Chain A
Amino acid sequence: MIPELGLAALWLAAALAALQLLAGFVGTRSGNAAFAALARPAATLQAFLCIIAFCALLYVFAVTDLSVQLVATNSHSLKPMIFKLSGAWGNHEGSMLLWVTVMAMAGGLIALIERRLPEKTMMATLCAQAFVALGFYAFLLLSSNPFERLAEVPPEGNGLNPLLQDIGLAFHPPTLYIGYVGLSVAFSFAVAALLTRNVTPDFARVMRPWVLGAWIFLTVGITAGSYWAYYELGWGGWWFWDPVENASLMPWLAATALLHSASVLAARDALRTWTIMLGVIAFSMSMLGTFLVRSGILTSVHAFAVDPERGSFILALLTLYIGGALVLFALRANTIAEGERFAVMSREGALVVNNVGLTAILGVVLLGTLYPLLTEAFDVRVSVGPPYFNPVSAIFFLPMLLVLMVGPLLRWKRDDFTRVRKPVAIALAVTIVIIIRAVFWDGIGLLPLLGLGLAAGVAIASLAPLQGRSLRRTPLAIWGMCIAHFGIAVALFGMAADTAFQKERLVAVSVGDTVEVGAWTGRLDSVNAVAGPNWTAMQANMHLSYDGGPELEAHPQSRNFWAPVMETSEVALLTRWNGQLYVAVGSQGEDGRWQLRLWWKPFVTFIWYGGLLIALGGVLSLIGRVRSDLRRRRGEADDSEEIADAAPEPEPEAQPA
């Protein structure tokens, strides 16, 4: 009964999307106003229906209703409740339902609260949003029905991949999906702006908080995903340039570029077409990511070719939406007047470097991700991995960091470099001193070397815009910018420090033996068996101390799940302010000794602190924007946009000599 209710809600929601499409279309043509007025409620109600469908799916997973095919193939009655629930989106159909639900919620939210746009643009936005949503409803209902029943009810389910039975991964996909699919709003706005030729600073101000919201979730999702891979895969790696990771990075790169270009459009009415283009690209990358992950093409191009139903469906959607938007862009872009001009040495100039750089990195990641798939189709297998991505993306990233030291200090339109010379010189000097100092550290690679220096420089420069301001009166958006940029420095420092100074120890030890890694000394006290709800494990019990300090306990496990059968590594992490000790236990050798893997990873945690700081910057900025917008709507005199976007007032002590 409940699954059928969910299915019915989905069909209804799809019908409402069709209604929204028509009503929105009529709305853009200034047709029947009463009919056009249906667009907003249709969008809101749709969100409500999708939530009902999603709750229905959660319910069948919670009670392990094995008559539903999806539950039988992906769940197990003995799983802990939290993983029963997260199992609902740990599979193809469920995750597509999550996708559609988030999409409907995003559409419902703009219908409900977005009142700042001209009515025609708003109608076109809802129309575009419904058009995209309809394709995904069709995909879900016609080829990925999550509520499919089984004729014969099996006695037990197949269980969920044990790697996914982790609290981190339970929340990672929803976070990421909110980010991914939230970008659909930017896509719909961009398409609407093209349709109505309405590309103005006001439009950018409307679009910006939505992009910012999606971007915050993407940032958190990527950061959490990286930490999950780090502790769950058992080898201490935090970024693999895996196609699935790249699929989440590409929309992030596009959205980051979009945020920056939207602020140029909002403050200075420049980069009009470029901003629209990025709006289209960002969500296109989300859809491409979904295609890569959901079509099975990553496991093998040939497997995809053998059973192409779902893959071709998404590919067709991809072609329709991306192709359609690009054609629209090509037709309309030249009718959008060129925006305001600006000098190179200006805030806009620096932001153009940011945009070109981010887009180029996006191009590199896209190329490196798709190229092996392309050659595999012709039976040539090539591997593109970290040795390619790291240096090639660094070629574009490192110059961007240099510009990042200057850009936020510059004024809009045009500026004089001598005005910002002092803070930039300090940041550059620190960068150079650290690089020169680090050259003499043994065996440090070029990239970590540059990374360490630039991280320090960017950290200093990112806070420079706060100098000379009254910190209490500094707008939140400025705080957000500084903290996000500081976060980049923090994350970069973590990456560089871990790469440069990591210590590795792989040993086979007997109970009672000691082991050393970096400044740590440890002892294997005992190994015993432990049992969980759906696994058994061998647990190593260790005492370790850092540099002769107090002894700390660590209990890494080697787990055996039985449904499905799989061995996983449950690592022990000992966190200090200056890094993390990473301990994993492997299997027992024939001589009775246990394999231990230990890494001392200096400052590795900074990678994720940095990611969270970047997201925090986004949150502050979002709060600042929304607050100033509310104030403006209440009609109070408000010039916070100008304040927030202007460069800092010239410092009083600027001309000493």
Chain B
Amino acid sequence: MRLLAALLALLMAAPLAAQSNAPPAPYAYQQLEDPALEEQATELMHTLRCITCQSQSIADSDAPMAGNMRHQVRTRIANGESPEAVRAWLVSRYGDYVSYEPVASASTWPLFVIPGILLLIAVIVLLRRVGRRVPVEGEGA
């Protein structure tokens, strides 16, 4: 019975497998030979967004699009391009949206200014506490 089910499954799986169109590009699921280059590529891939997924980097996604982008990144790194050059190329192609790496620009400055303000507020609040010394014996309410 279980064998039958498995056979059936195999039959059903075959057309499903055929459905997924072109096979993934070679470096979508394979690492570069050179560990140093692979490390560069991995680090870069973790900061690039899979633009067809929700909040995943291309290093965390099964989406075909992410696979293609991983292939692009690895091939370009293997060809000697610097990670930042690869990022710049992807940004020119897909826009700023593709990069998670925070860059201060006309559209992103609040992301950097506001935490700075928060830090300032935090320091001021704490300093104000320091300023208020408590008398050693029985303090007033």
Chain A residues close to B by CB (< 8 Å): 233-237, 240-244, 298-299, 337-344, 349, 352-353, 356-357, 360, 363-364, 367-368, 371, 375, 380-388, 392, 395-396, 413-414, 443, 504-508, 528-531, 536-538, 560, 562, 565, 567, 569, 586-590, 595, 597
| B60 close to A235 (CB less than 8 A) | yes
Residue from the list A240, A243, A381, A443 in contact with B96, Cβ < 8 A: A381
- Cβ of B81 within 8 Å of any chain A Cβ, yes or no, is no
| B13 close to A538 (CB less than 8 A) | yes
Looking at the assembled complex, report how far the CB atom of A584 sits from the nearest CB atom of chain B, in whole angstroms.
9
Residue from the list B23, B115, B129, B139 in contact with A367, Cβ < 8 A: B115
| A356 close to B126 (CB less than 8 A) | yes
| B115 close to A529 (CB less than 8 A) | no
Residue from the list A234, A357, A387, A443 in contact with B39, Cβ < 8 A: A443
A531-B8, A538-B13 given; A299·B97 CB < 8 A: no
User: With the chains together, A384 CA to B114 CA distance in Å?
Assistant: 14
Neighbouring B residues of A244 by C-beta, 8 Å: 55
Residue from the list A342, A395, A529, A565 in contact with B134, Cβ < 8 A: A342
A240-B60, A531-B6, A531-B8 given; A367·B54 CB < 8 A: no
Residue from the list A353, A508, A560 in contact with B29, Cβ < 8 A: A508
* Interfacial residues of chain B within 112-141, with CB under 8 A of chain A in the complex: 114-115, 118-119, 121-122, 125-126, 129-130, 132-134, 136, 139-141
A385-B49, A506-B29 given; A537·B107 CB < 8 A: no
Binary flags per residue of B1-26, CB closer than 8 Å to A gives 1, else 0: 00001111110110011001001100
Taking A531-B8, A587-B17 as given, write out 20 further A-B residue pairs in contact, using a Cβ cutoff of 8 Å, ordered by the A residue number.
A235-B61, A242-B56, A243-B55, A298-B54, A337-B141, A342-B134, A349-B129, A356-B126, A357-B122, A360-B115, A360-B119, A363-B118, A385-B57, A386-B100, A388-B100, A414-B134, A505-B31, A530-B9, A569-B62, A586-B29
- Cβ of B42 within 8 Å of any chain A Cβ, yes or no, is yes
Neighbouring A residues of B59 by C-beta, 8 Å: 235
User: With the chains together, A338 CA to B139 CA distance in Å?
Assistant: 13
- Sampled A-B contacts (22; CB under 8 Å): A233-B56, A235-B59, A237-B60, A337-B141, A341-B132, A357-B122, A360-B118, A367-B111, A368-B111, A371-B110, A381-B96, A384-B111, A385-B47, A386-B46, A396-B118, A508-B30, A529-B6, A530-B9, A531-B5, A537-B9, A537-B13, A560-B16
Residue from the list B6, B99, B115, B129 in contact with A363, Cβ < 8 A: B115
Chain B, Cβ-Cβ closest to A346? B134
Binary flags per residue of B72-112, CB closer than 8 Å to A gives 1, else 0: 00000000000000000000000111111110000110110
Q: Which of under 10, 10 to 19, 20 to 34, or 35 or more describes the interface residues of B?
A: 35 or more
| B100 close to A385 (CB less than 8 A) | yes
Looking at the assembled complex, report how far the CB atom of B67 sits from the nearest CB atom of chain A, in whole angstroms.
10
Q: Is the interface of A mostly helix, strand, loop or mixed?
A: mixed
Neighbouring A residues of B118 by C-beta, 8 Å: 360, 363-364, 396
Neighbouring B residues of A349 by C-beta, 8 Å: 129
Chain A, Cβ-Cβ closest to B96? A382
| B114 close to A367 (CB less than 8 A) | yes
Neighbouring B residues of A243 by C-beta, 8 Å: 55
A363-B115, A388-B100 given; A242·B29 CB < 8 A: no
Looking at the assembled complex, report how far the CB atom of B68 sits from the nearest CB atom of chain A, in whole angstroms.
15
User: With the chains together, A271 CA to B135 CA distance in Å?
Assistant: 18
Chain A, Cβ-Cβ closest to B131? A344
Neighbouring B residues of A364 by C-beta, 8 Å: 115, 118
| B55 close to A385 (CB less than 8 A) | yes
Chain A, Cβ-Cβ closest to B46? A386
User: With the chains together, A562 CA to B133 CA distance in Å?
Assistant: 69
Residue from the list B12, B125, B134 in contact with A356, Cβ < 8 A: B125
User: With the chains together, A236 CA to B136 CA distance in Å?
Assistant: 55
User: With the chains together, A175 CA to B122 CA distance in Å?
Assistant: 33
- A-B residue pairs, 5 tightest by C-beta: A385-B100, A536-B9, A531-B9, A242-B55, A529-B10
A242-B54, A242-B55 given; A387·B102 CB < 8 A: yes
